[in-house]
Amino acid sequence: MIKLKSNLYSKTGDIVKQIELPKVFETVPRVDLIRKAFRSSVLSRRQPYGSYYFSGMRRVGHNLGPNHGISRIPRLAGGSRGVISANMVGGRSAHSPRNTKNLVIRINRKERRMALQSAISMTAVSSLVIARGHRIPTELQLPIVVEDSVSQITRTKDAMALLTQIGIDDDIERAKEGVKIRAGRGKMRGRKYRKPLSVLVVGTDKESLRPFAKISGVDIADVKSMSIRKLAPGGIGGRLTMFTEGALKAMGENQ
């Protein structure tokens, strides 16, 4: 069987050699499982909300019984105002949301694993990456693999220089210029801007990749924190991804 290979870049952006990719990149993509896993991940992060359990019930209402010429509903003593019932002003809520409701959407372990493997393999297909909206040179070989020496980069300026040398600066500019003010109520809820996503940088140590995180649209992750939310935002696979050599080695050992 022919092994998949990709170019290995130095921290200055020069091609050093060809490197073999782990077997996970040979996985046949399952778009349906990626969407299912993404939906499970997003919906399970919802925050439960609901009204107070005894809201509208902390009143004392009396029922006069039959033969008084008035409806038999609980009323305040010495008055005619109805209480407690859902059709009364200040009464309980008939079908209010409860914070005890289970909002977790479960998915089978094998399906979640297959979805993650599919999302990883789609990062090596140029047509899928371009179809997702990323701007990359036609001659760029995917996935992008760099030496572990990129962890020695301490300035965002140098990190941007590396991405420019590789040839994905156009995609960074696309993400930077694509920031828009959200249309709708989300502006009031802490998500005023819609921010396009660019390259995802995956290494063995997330802290060593901090200079990349300061670039607009760039996300960072380590091998253990890779997820569908990062590899396939919106449930759409094919995100432009840059792996370190150590990250690929760790992925091969975990197979």
Sequence spans of domains, the chain:
5-32+107-253, 47-102
At residue 212 the predicted structure's pLDDT band, cuts being 50, 70 and 90, is: very high
pLDDT at 68: 86
pLDDT at 255: 64
pTM (predicted TM-score): 0.86
Mean pLDDT of 88-94: 90
Kind plus residue range of the DSSP H or E element containing 165:
helix 156-166
Instruction: Give the Cα separation of 76 and 54 in Å (integer).
Output: 18
At residue 79 the predicted structure's pLDDT band, cuts being 50, 70 and 90, is: confident
Q: How many secondary structure helices (H) and strands (E) does the chain include? A: 8, 8
Half-sphere exposure of 18 (CA within 13 A, CB side): 6
Q: How many Å is the Cα radius of gyration of the chain?
A: 27
- Read off the tokens for 213: 């995180």
CA triple 210-197-237, angle to 5 deg: 110
pLDDT reading at 103 higher than 70: yes
At residue 70 the predicted structure's pLDDT band, cuts being 50, 70 and 90, is: confident
100 residue type, one letter: T
Mean pLDDT of 184-213: 94
pLDDT at 2: 55
pLDDT at 1: 45
Mean pLDDT of 99-125: 95
CATH C-level class of 5-32+107-253:
alpha beta
Mean predicted lDDT score pLDDT of the chain: 92
* DSSP result, 65-120: -SSSSS----B-TTS--B-SSTTSTT---SS---TTS-------HHHHHHHHHHHH
pLDDT reading at 44 higher than 60: yes
At residue 137 the predicted structure's pLDDT band, cuts being 50, 70 and 90, is: very high
